[in-house]
A and B are shown apart, each in its own frame.
Chain A
Amino acid sequence: MNALRDILSQGAQMSLVLGLAPLLTGFVRKVKARLLRRRGPPLLQPYRDLIRLMRKDVVLADNASWLFRVIPYLIFSGTWVAASLVPTFGNGLLFSWTADLIAIIALLGSARFFQALAGMDVGTAFGGIGSSREVMIASLAEPAMLITVFSVAMIAGSTQLANVAEFMGSDAVGLRVSLGMAFVALTIMALAENARIPVDNPATHLELTMVHEAMVLEYSGRHLALIDLSSQLKLLLYVSLIACVFLPWGMATADASVARLVFGALLYLGKLTVLGFLLAVFETSIAKMRVFRIPEFLGAALMLALLATLLRFVSGSL
């Protein structure tokens, strides 16, 4: 009975993140449009886009190799697995011990590795520019992310997300300077990793400043649908991660009742709405940076994260 429950809960989590990811993107787009006094696309537009793309033929460049065709599936599976390991509504995930926070970051790193390779497969100038800039951003974002993880893990005494969430939800945590710094660093990372403004512009195309879009330029049809879905999943993952580490209240425990689970899920939706809204507000209130300003922006996050970790080493209570 217990095993069945665990499997159901893990399955629910997997389908929940997959189902919600396009909605979150649609919501952010809608809010952004409203803030710019546009009407904006309907909330469900991302679903329609995905379905339309999946039904279309794939137009493959003459020079594309087998790797180019496999990569969308690799990116999708890596991101989906990572997203289903981050606790959302409940804490008792069956596979939560499969990978800790470091492994989740590394899984996303694998997805990015393949994405950058895909940009170089056809041998076009745009693909190369995208991959080259992506690895530059990653070379700063990934260490900053890992060090943020260090500081959070040292406070919680675990890199296991379920335990981190449990610790953060308890009274033991208190108000800490290092947590504040880690929060700012993690937010900057989330913006950079999801190709949001000010690092990259998710709405742009045919611009020399684009990074993510340049890498996926040669993709079409179902391949593009999968890559889009993966980026939506990644956005959801980061929002859930921030919610799980910094706003863990109301998360259902492993042996919670069904009512508790439903309550947790509703609360999770509320958190997503708030964080998505904040993201849209932030994006509309700031301009995109030029490429070589990004390292300074990410460097600030790196320093904050390092400072948070050092504070933690210096004093147990900061």
Chain B
Amino acid sequence: MIAVALWSVAALLALAPAGVVLSTRPRGSIILYGGCLIATSTLCVTALSDLLYVPQLTPSATLPIGLPWLGAHFRLDALSAFFLVVINLGGVAASLFALGYGQHEDSPGRVLPFYPAYLAAMNIVVLANDAFSFLVAWEFMSLTSWALVVSHHREAENIRAGYVYLLMASFGTLALLLAFGLLASGAGYDFDAIRASHPSAAVAGMVLILALLGAGSKAGLVPLHAWLPLAHPAAPSHVSGLMSGVMTKVAVYGFVRIVFDLLPEPVWWWSMVVLLVGGPTATLGVLYALMQRDIKRVLAYSTIENIGIIFTGLGLALAFKAEGLDWVAALAFTAAMLHVFNHALFKSLLFFGAGAVLGATGERDMEKLGGLIHRMPKTAFAMLIGCVAISALPPFNGFVSEWLTFQAILLSPQLPSWGLKLVIPAVGGLLALAAAFAAACFVKLYGISFLGRPRSDVAASAHETDRFSLTAMLVLAAFCLIAGILPGLFIDALAPVSKDMVGNIMPHQVGLQWLTIVPIAESRSSYNGLLVFVFAALCGTAAASAIHRLASDRLRRAPAWDCGYPDPNPAIQYSASSFSQPIRRVFGSVIFAAREIGEMPPPSSPRPARLRVELHDLIWDALYAPIAMVVGFATDRINILQFLTIRRYLTLVFVALILLLLVVAL
């Protein structure tokens, strides 16, 4: 099976140079995205069949490329297979969406060559079985995605986003490079050799921290998230969907591969570190999202939240694994992996919807949208499902993974360590807060952009998007529902992954009465999304038909009531910033140092009074701004070296030579 996978990746790589040629042809984008669609669906099917039918086989291959004495090692175990499914499901959806959306691209030459290369890079990261290929693929993925981020290079904002992204990506790779350096010191670059080696506890701890920094900066863990809300929205929407829905998952893969697979048995404080980063990431990410008014930026910040949820699950799994409770570790790990899958589904869907809105109106600013449900009914329907799913509401899929995470948290009193006993309930509280904020955030996103009355002419004259884009969105929406009402199937499919990584599996789910999911025992907890869905659908239909038949089914249209004071001006509606004002007032004064400044004109001045809101990103101010300042200061000082005379340069070279010789001699 790995041969098929590698050939498909090779096909994707071959499509990249073809993209240069195709970008000049009128129907080139269709051919390219069609090619990507075929390659990714082959990969997806291959990986899925591998995960479902032959999970115990782990085929590997070695290609004579890369370092001459090492070659490039590839391996397809259950973990890789699962992440291949996630990546390529996202890839299939994005390519399908782009078949329609990509035709409106202004400069296809800046997108088409990089898109297949980017897909291929993500696949290679997951397949790689030695540190060298892993890092090369990782860096290739960063660079191709950077090229896509700056594809609309005429907007100054995008260039800044690309710059920050490039810096943070280099930082992440550096951390991973050091992590692998520590791991490989006694064993070599091959993952198989690393697995067999036994690094000391101190080295393992350092590798954990470095992996958290490296993978976490790519995934968007707070405080390494600063680049994400800049870069993800800057790319074309199908690429944004891939970056948020899929590439952050590749980062999660990197973390899981290093910490759960390559490192020896965990120690309890590892989980403490991961939990203390994951919980605040979830809450802060969604609070940031609530304060935004740009649709794509809201979605990018919400990605940070979901990454926080995933890392919380992974932290729980580490804690339970360290204490030998591997059956609970399996529950927490499965919850995290299920959330990886779920988030890939609904985040891609939501970014595609944002792309459809952007294509129809040219606007990403919610304050200029409104009423799109009338003009883009199908997009609005798909987006509604995405919004409900990401808010972790039943019967959709987001709820299932959060529910499983909560079940794992409820088992944490069994842990012996006191630190964890105090941290885990607090993290549970943070997750609960994040879930509630997420609902608020997506009520806002949907309510402001799709409901109400149009706030601008472009929103009033929007049109439905093309049928490829619609198909991609509706398919993803259908997956969100299926994964929500039949979660047992997905949990069972994850069993080999959890077996490999934490050494145990959740109880077998399919075959339980009525497809209920039971994480531990029926006396503890169970949830049946299918029955809830059917039950609610029946109740709703019964109520509707009874009322229509027995009472009244008449309906008339009239102007809105609004307590007797309707105003035809759409500006009277709540705007995105006014919607989040109460939450900003309650939570923002501390977290964002938010201030509302009322500027009253002096008496007798005809100027209107203004209300200005000041928000500060305290993490940026406290962490990034000082670093930038120091670097700026240092470069200013070094700058004089650029304007020396030839004599002084020669002196410098001479001094450098002497110093080097001294170093060598000593």
Contacts and interface: CB of A to CB of B under 8 A. Distances in A.
Interface of A: 51, 54-63, 65-67, 73-74, 76-78, 80-81, 95, 97-100, 102-103, 106-107, 109-110, 112-113, 116-117, 119-129, 131-133, 135-136, 138-143, 146-147, 150, 153-154, 157-160, 163, 206, 217-218, 220-222, 225-226, 291-292, 295, 302, 306, 309-310, 312-314, 316
A58 B555 contact: yes
B482 interface: no
A124 B447 CA distance: 12
8 closest cross-chain pairs (CB), A and B:
A128-B574, A123-B452, A120-B447, A77-B540, A143-B432, A136-B582, A135-B440, A123-B453
Given A117-B451, A222-B552, A147 B579 contact: no
Contacts of B626: none
Is chain B's interface secondary structure helix, strand, loop, or mixed overall? helix
A161 B7 CA distance: 53
A127 B443 CA distance: 13
A116 B447 contact: yes
Given A60-B557, A100-B527, A313-B413, A217 B579 contact: no
Given A61-B561, A146-B432, A310 B422 contact: yes
A94 B20 CA distance: 62
Interface in B376-434: 377, 380, 384, 388, 391-394, 399, 403, 406-407, 409-410, 412-413, 421-422, 424-426, 428-429, 432-433
A13 B436 CA distance: 30
Given A61-B561, A126-B562, A138-B436, 7 more contacts: A54-B551, A62-B560, A97-B528, A139-B440, A142-B432, A159-B410, A222-B551
| Contact residues on B (Cβ < 8 Å of other chain), bracket | 35 or more
B523 A125 contact: no
A313 to B, nearest CB: 5
A110 B585 CA distance: 25
A66 B572 CA distance: 22
A316 B414 CA distance: 11
A264 B548 CA distance: 35
B276 interface: no
Contact of A63 (B393, B554, B560, B580): B560
A142 B286 CA distance: 15
A288 to B, nearest CB: 17
Contact of A81 (B393, B432, B532, B572): B532
B566 interface: yes
Interface string B115-135: 000000000000000000000
A146 B446 CA distance: 25
B369 to A, nearest CB: 12
B525 interface: yes
B555 A159 contact: no
Contacts of A122: 452, 560, 562
A67 B537 CA distance: 16
B392 A60 contact: no
B573 A139 contact: no
Interface in B212-234: none
A35 to B, nearest CB: 29
B579 A100 contact: no
Nearest to B546: A54
A66 B380 CA distance: 11
Interface string B425-462: 11011001101110110111011100111000000000
A147 B502 CA distance: 28
Interface string B579-600: 1111101100000000000000
A65 B447 CA distance: 12
Contacts of A312: 413
A132 B422 contact: no
B443 A103 contact: no
Contacts, number: 280
A159 B409 CA distance: 12
B543 A77 contact: yes
Given A58-B556, A65-B374, A154-B410, A117 B446 contact: yes
Interface in B592-639: none
B522 interface: yes
Given A54-B547, A136-B440, A107 B394 contact: yes
Given A62-B559, A292-B586, A109 B439 contact: yes
B602 to A, nearest CB: 29
Interface of B: 370-371, 373-374, 377, 380, 384, 388, 391-394, 399, 403, 406-407, 409-410, 412-413, 421-422, 424-426, 428-429, 432-433, 435-437, 439-440, 442-444, 446-448, 451-453, 516, 522-528, 531-532, 535-540, 543-544, 547, 551-552, 554-563, 566-567, 570, 572-574, 578-583, 585-586
B392 to A, nearest CB: 7
A160 B516 CA distance: 13
Given A143-B429, A313-B425, A113 B439 contact: yes
Interface centre among B388, B451, B525, B567 (most CB of A within 10 A): B451
A8 to B, nearest CB: 17
Contact of A57 (B407, B425, B451, B552): B552
A116 B433 CA distance: 18
A163 B525 CA distance: 9
A125 B572 contact: yes
A61 B559 contact: yes
A103 B399 CA distance: 8
Nearest to A162: B523
Nearest to B437: A139
A221 B552 contact: yes
B556 A59 contact: yes
Nearest to B518: A97
Contact of A135 (B444, B523, B573): B444
30 contacts: A55-B551, A59-B558, A61-B561, A73-B544, A77-B536, A80-B539, A109-B439, A110-B393, A113-B442, A117-B443, A127-B574, A135-B439, A135-B443, A135-B444, A135-B583, A140-B436, A142-B432, A143-B429, A143-B433, A143-B436, A150-B428, A154-B410, A158-B525, A163-B524, A218-B560, A220-B561, A221-B552, A310-B422, A313-B413, A314-B421
Nearest to B407: A159
Contact of B532 (A102, A103, A154, A160): A103
Nearest to A214: B563
Nearest to A307: B425
Contacts of A55: 551-552
B77 to A, nearest CB: 33
A106 B399 contact: yes
A103 B453 CA distance: 34
B554 A95 contact: no
B537 A77 contact: yes
A201 B425 CA distance: 33
A153 B540 CA distance: 30
B581 to A, nearest CB: 7
